Amino acid sequence: MKNTLEFVSQTGRALLTLREMLLKGEFAPGERLSELALVARLNVSRTPIRLALDRLAHEGLLTGAPSGGFIVCEFTLADIWDSIEMRGVLEGTAARLAAERLTDPSELLQLREYQRQMDAIPNNTMDDFARYMDLNESFHIELISLAKSSMLDRSLKHLTSLPFANPSAMVFARSKLPRAVELMTIGKEQHHAILEALANHQGTRAEAVAREHAALSRRNLESVFVGDSKILSCVPGASLIRLETVV
Amino acid sequence: MKNTLEFVSQTGRALLTLREMLLKGEFAPGERLSELALVARLNVSRTPIRLALDRLAHEGLLTGAPSGGFIVCEFTLADIWDSIEMRGVLEGTAARLAAERLTDPSELLQLREYQRQMDAIPNNTMDDFARYMDLNESFHIELISLAKSSMLDRSLKHLTSLPFANPSAMVFARSKLPRAVELMTIGKEQHHAILEALANHQGTRAEAVAREHAALSRRNLESVFVGDSKILSCVPGASLIRLETVV
DNA sequence: CTAGTATACACTGTATGCAGGTATGCAAGC
DNA sequence: GCTTGCATACCTGCATACAGTGTATACTAG
């Protein structure tokens, strides 16, 4: 995984552009992507495009056609929910391992700092909410690093390479909800419980709370779907989702 | 992920050959792989080699160097144990989801058939053991499919693309152990418990037993390491593991 | 003798030409 | 009118040529 400075190379630009195009819905699910057409649209040679397509296939947005080439993947609502479920399982494992492998209380300092900053947010304006989401992401990243497991890290990175499983992908949908403040309050409490469990080496409790923390995302997403269906289009990659009503 | 008939294309051959070379230990951990050197050794052009290297980087055996190119990854014993831990977590999740999502008892027929065949194995000779391992793998694959989660499937495939997490990778090590029959007996009992939990929609029990089932692999592997160290070399990719004693 | 700089080599990233294969469209036969 | 077979055209996969950059080594200066 070359993740450093891919923005300057042709391959990196092609990868970012293609991913954005896919998530924006410029290609229909099941559509076959022609390399030459992309050459014309991106002003890049076929080679970097080929690399980018191959990489997107590994990320899961594309799949290889039996006769060669790549076609756009299609997802279902069940896939999205399963992604969040998986994120809960993996982050729950991260919390449990962190609790089991904690050797010094000072390892929790950074996590406590994030929590302190989150608690200090007045949660009134939209900016407050964006700041909470940033801190929330930092909190989760730090939690995962405390698990001290490169394999777990790998699995989580692989999972969140799909946009649906990425917690920050739901920011737009979430921020439009009146329930935002309420969810934020619950989230803070769960962070508090996770920290307490870590400090006391309560692995099972940490795992359970972290799973429930992900379930919060799921409940939020459900309320989005049953609510205004136009909000769904704010979620990246929404056009790749096959709604049951269409079938 | 193009997984169909990659054996005929140049890229597929390069991928298989390179993976085998890596697992055989023909490259040292941290070594930088030169494309041109591989062109000479594989009699293939740079393009398919490049694709294969990129894919191996996604699998986790290689990592991108900051100045371009790829270097061979190094693993620790902790990584191996974490891999097995992760497999336990994911297969535990598969068992739980399978229990939760079971709609008809007939869905368990195939699983019961595998279990029946495993129970019928006399477990005396080495061939019996190989047959058990085959059936064991089929059992796990069927269990995962019963979870009805493409995302879980994806995560598990990604994890087991590394050789250490692959259960069948330990066949050679395991078959040389006198404890083989004992482990087989325990494994059978756990399969039995999983099936019973599935039939009764006992998700938590199914998850716990499946996790313990993976822990069995871990205990087996531990006994390999503390035993004859020459057996370790039978494990694919053993040369990529940095032993603590070396440091 | 050491350190810094310049030059040369090697390797990666990119582009393009070529060949094999697959899909599609048209025509002919049933 | 439908099906089947053939031809054509496009598209992928592979190989190679070229350019830019990073690195290593050697030489010079302090």
CB B143 within 8 A of CB B91: yes
At B106, which amino acid appears? Answer: S
Question: Rounded distance, CA B53 to CA B65, Å?
Answer: 12
Report which of A191, A171, A169, A165 is spatially closest to residue A86, judged by C-alpha positions. A165
Are the beta carbons of B155 and A158 separated by less than 8 Å?
A: yes
Mean pLDDT of chain B: 87
Would you state the pLDDT for residue A232? 65
Question: How many angstroms separate the CA atoms of A150 and A137, rounded?
Answer: 18
Calculate the angstrom distance between C1' of D21 and CA of A8.
Answer: 13
Structure confidence at residue A182 (pLDDT): 81
Please say if the pLDDT value at position B246 is more than 90: no
Residue A4 DSSP SS3: coil
Alpha helix stretches (DSSP H) within chain A: 10-24, 35-42, 46-59, 77-101, 109-119, 126-146, 150-159, 171-175, 180-199, 203-226
Q: Point out which residues pair with A62 in neighbouring strands.
A: A72
Pairing verdict, β B241-242 and B75-76: parallel
For chain A, the residue count is: 247
CA–CA dist A120, A50 (Å, integer):
48
Q: Supply the DSSP symbol for A26.
A: -
How far apart are the C-alpha atoms of B11 and A68, rounded to whole Å?
A: 12
Distance in angstroms (rounded) separating the CA atoms of residues A102 and A105: 7
Using alpha carbons only, give the angle B198, B201, B206 rounded to the nearest 5 degrees.
50
B206 neighbors B194 (Cβ within 8 angstroms): yes
Query: Which residues are within 8 A (CB) of A121 and not within 5 positions of it... i.e. 6 or more apart?
Result: A128, A131, A132, A135
- For residue B239, the model assigns a pLDDT of 84
In this structure, the strands spanning A62-64 and B32-33 are unpaired
Nearest-CA distance A235 → chain B (Å) = 18
Percent above pLDDT 90 for chain B: 63
Nucleotide nearest to A70 (CA to C1'): D12
Q: What is the pLDDT of residues A19-61, one digit of tens each?
A: 999 998 899 999 999 999 999 899 999 999 999 999 999 999 9
- B129 Cβ contact list (under 8 Å, min separation 6): B123, B174, B175, B180, B184
Bases in strand C with any atom closer than 7 Å to a protein CB: 10-17, 21-23
pLDDT at A3 over 50: no
Rounded Cα gap, residues B195 and A198, in angstroms = 34
d(CA A30, CA A42): 21
Q: Which nucleotide lies at the shortest CA–C1' distance from B10? A: D14
- Closest in B47, B60, B90 to A154, CB measured: B60
Give the dihedral of Cα atoms B83, B85, B86, B90; nearest 10 deg.
Answer: 140
In chain B, which residue's Cα lies nearest the Cα of A92? B89
Q: Which amino acid, A66?
A: P
What DSSP assignment string belongs to B114-156?
A: HHHHHHT----SHHHHHHHHHHHHHHHHHHHHHT--HHHHHHH
Whether the pLDDT of residue B94 is over 70: the answer is yes
- Segment A54-96, tens digit of pLDDT: 999 999 999 998 888 899 999 998 999 999 999 999 999 999 9
The phi-psi region of residue B60 (left if phi > 0; otherwise alpha if psi is between -120 and 50; otherwise beta) is left
- How far: B67 CA to D24 C1' (Å)? 15
The SS3 call for residue A76 is: strand
Identity of the highest mean pLDDT range in A4-8, A98-102, B214-218: A98-102
Would an 8 Å CB–CB cutoff place A145 in contact with chain B? no
Q: Please give the average per-residue pLDDT across B60-83, as a whole number.
A: 91
Which pLDDT score is estimated for B7? Answer: 59
Q: Nearest to residue B159, comparing CAs of B212, B91, B96, B207?
A: B91
Q: Could you give the CA distance from residue A45 to residue B37 in angstroms, rounded to a whole number?
A: 25
B47 Cβ nearer than 7 Å to chain D strand = yes
In a 3-state reduction of DSSP, which class is residue B33? Answer: strand
β B32-33/A70-72 pair status: unpaired
Average pLDDT over residues B203-223: 90
Residue nearest to nucleotide C15 (CA to C1'): A45
Nucleotides of D under 7 A from a protein CB: 10-17, 22-23
Give the C-alpha separation, B96 to B201, whole Å. 8
Rounded-to-integer distance, Cα B19 and Cα B215, Å: 27
B126-CA/D16-C1' distance, Å: 51
Q: Which amino acid is at A51?
A: L
Tell me the mean pLDDT in the region B132-158.
Answer: 95
Q: Confidence class of residue A5 from pLDDT cuts 50, 70 and 90? A: very low
In chain A, what is the straight-line distance between the N-terminal and C-terminal CA atoms, in Å?
A: 37
DSSP-derived 3-state class of residue B197:
helix
Give me the residues near strand C, CB below 7 A: A 2, 9-11, 44-48, 51, 66-68; B 32-37, 46-47, 50, 68-69
Query: Mutate which of B55, B62, B82, B100 to test chain A, going by most A C-beta atoms within 10 A?
Result: B82
Q: Which two tokens stand for residue B28?
A: 């040292």
Question: What is the rounded average pLDDT for all residues in chain A?
Answer: 87
Long-range contacts of B198-203 (CB under 8 A, 24+ apart): B198/B95, B198/B98, B198/B99, B198/B102, B198/B108, B198/B111, B198/B146, B199/B102, B199/B105, B199/B108, B200/B99, B201/B99, B201/B100, B201/B102, B202/B99, B203/B95, B203/B96, B203/B97, B203/B99, B203/B100
Report CA dihedral (B103, B109, B111, B112) to the nearest 10 degrees: 120
Q: Which two tokens stand for residue B156?
A: 């598990």
